Chains A and B, each alone.
Chain A
């Protein structure tokens, strides 16, 4: 891995974002809309339920922010790839001395930067608008963030692999893939309240362990370490599988001659 190559690719995305204010709007506008809607719903529920549940319902805002961590990390990978497709730059990158791992690493860094920007804005709005401090989760916040970010990278690689396989017609998958999982990762409700058949499925995703952990920390101030260990073990599995899928499909597109067709469409 060459860090110079990774930093060059990250620099490209930096230029892209600073040159296109509309991209910054996309980075901030939709998360803020989401937060305000969820924030208002939370306030409404708080005012119409008992005090104990009212204080607990704040987890909705935490879940919203943490969901966005995962979503932005996934977008960092998938949208960075699509930027190369949209600007017909993919071939320039693939005929340059750029290893697949370097290309993916650059998109991971972009994901991290996207999280930093969006996360900061959301934390500030939730603090000033709804008196919710995400940092009340304490040091648990760090493994929560890391775990969701890594899972977001995995989902990003899977989305990108699927787009590579099916071409630009499938590019809406860049946004859709995380939402395929949203119903089963228990972001906004506990696993125990999900239909019984879907509960074993829910535990197969690292994000579920994080969201359950977040609720536990908010409720009791402590959490079971094994949940975090599960999240990290599952993350390693998903990262390896997603990386393998991406490389396999990239080679498949080269074998079938689809890469050049796709890149010059």
Chain B
């Protein structure tokens, strides 16, 4: 048993299957996310990452299988689990017609944040977007919007954080800042993070462990360096391409 395995399990899926019109988008997907771990969920488009994320957030019900967070069933303790979790996606925005502080204040109240004004000020400062406080959310650039979304995701100091492509469409400078902030939160708050991205640089830099999905099934999992060593490629990007094309990480003999 590895060191990682001994940590408390924060999120777990057991034999999770999701079918759409008879096609399995997720096929007996089982995994564990441990306390303080950053787990990358990888795969080509259509591999099942988004379906997995949606099931884990309770947005889509699985065809079969169970999900547990903090040792409790998501189906039976959804509100309690969501209170300790948060989510940010490059594809989900905060209401564009409100000012940044208004959006954050609303979510701070929903999550029951104590001293929300101070919390918002601290998070805006941490993500270097204090100057955006009075700006209308819909007028922010992609980079600004991503960082404001992250502020929302950090509002309740979540023990479980799900980040869906947080660096999509960001320039290298902002992407680097986002990666550093995510790492810092994980270090300081021992937050468990499920992270999806198509950017392998992100994954190598941020994730402790990764799971590769192909056609809804786990093809391989482990530390990025171990996976590269096991594969016939020289980088995680090579592994990604190999899996996307062949569904396996080594060249057939």
Residue among A15, A251, A264 making CB contact with B91, cutoff 8 Å: A264
Tell me, in angstroms, the Cα distance from A98 to B98 when the chains sit together: 20
Interface of A, secondary structure class, is: helix
Cα–Cα distance between A8 and B112 once the two chains are bound (Å):
9
Nearest-CB distance from A81 to chain B (Å)?
A: 13
Closest to B92 in A: A91
B15 nearest CB across to chain A (Å): 18
Q: Which A-chain residue is minimally distant from B107 (CB atoms)? A: A96
User: Given B54, B93, B99, B106, which contacts A8 in the complex, CB threshold below 8 Å?
Assistant: B106
How many residue pairs at the A-B interface have CB separations less than 8 Å? 97
For the complex, is B235 an interface residue (Cβ under 8 Å from A)?
no
A255 to B98 CA separation, bound complex (whole angstroms): 32
Does A5 count as interface, using CB distance less than 8 angstroms? yes
Q: Which residues of B contact A172 (CB under 8 A)?
A: none
Q: Is B59 an interface residue (CB 8 A)?
A: yes
With known contacts A87-B95, A95-B59, A99-B79, A5–B51 Cβ distance under 8 A: no
Q: Are B98 and A96 in contact (CB under 8 A)?
A: no
The chain A residue sitting closest to B155, CB to CB, is A96
- Which residues of B from 41 to 75 have beta carbons under 8 Å from A? 50-51, 54, 57-61
Q: Which residues of B contact A259 (CB under 8 A)?
A: 59-60
Segment 212-265 of A: residues with Cβ below 8 Å from B: 251, 254-255, 257, 259-260, 263-264
CB-contact partner of B97 in A7, A16, A91, under 8 A: A16
A92 to B99, CA, bound (A): 16
- Name the contact of A15 in the complex, choosing from B82, B85, B98, B107 (C-beta under 8 A): B98
**B interface majority secondary structure:** mixed
Interface centre among A4, A11, A12, A259 (most CB of B within 10 A): A12
Q: Which of A181-210 contact B (CB under 8 A)?
A: none
Cβ contact within 8 Å between A97 and B110: yes
Which of B61, B86, B91, B112 lies at the interface centre, i.e. has the most chain A CB atoms within 10 A of its CB?
B61
Per-residue CB proximity of A155-172 to B under 8 Å, as 1/0? 000000000000000000
Closest Cβ–Cβ distance, residue A89 to chain B (whole Å): 5
Is the CB–CB distance between B102 and A15 below 8 Å?
Answer: yes
**A179 on interface, CB distance cutoff 8 Å:** no
Q: List residues of B whose CB falls within 8 A of some A CB.
A: 18, 20, 50-51, 54, 57-61, 79-80, 82-83, 85-87, 89, 91-99, 102, 105-107, 109-112, 152
8 example contacts (A-B, Cβ-Cβ < 8 A) are as follows A5-B109, A7-B109, A8-B107, A8-B110, A91-B59, A92-B107, A97-B83, A97-B111
Q: A83-B95, A96-B107 are in contact. List 13 more A-B contacts (CB 8 A).
A: A4-B109, A20-B97, A89-B94, A91-B89, A91-B92, A92-B87, A94-B57, A95-B82, A95-B85, A97-B80, A254-B59, A257-B54, A259-B59
| A residues adjacent to B (C-beta < 8 A) | 4-5, 7-9, 11-12, 15-16, 19-20, 83-84, 87-89, 91-92, 94-99, 251, 254-255, 257, 259-260, 263-264
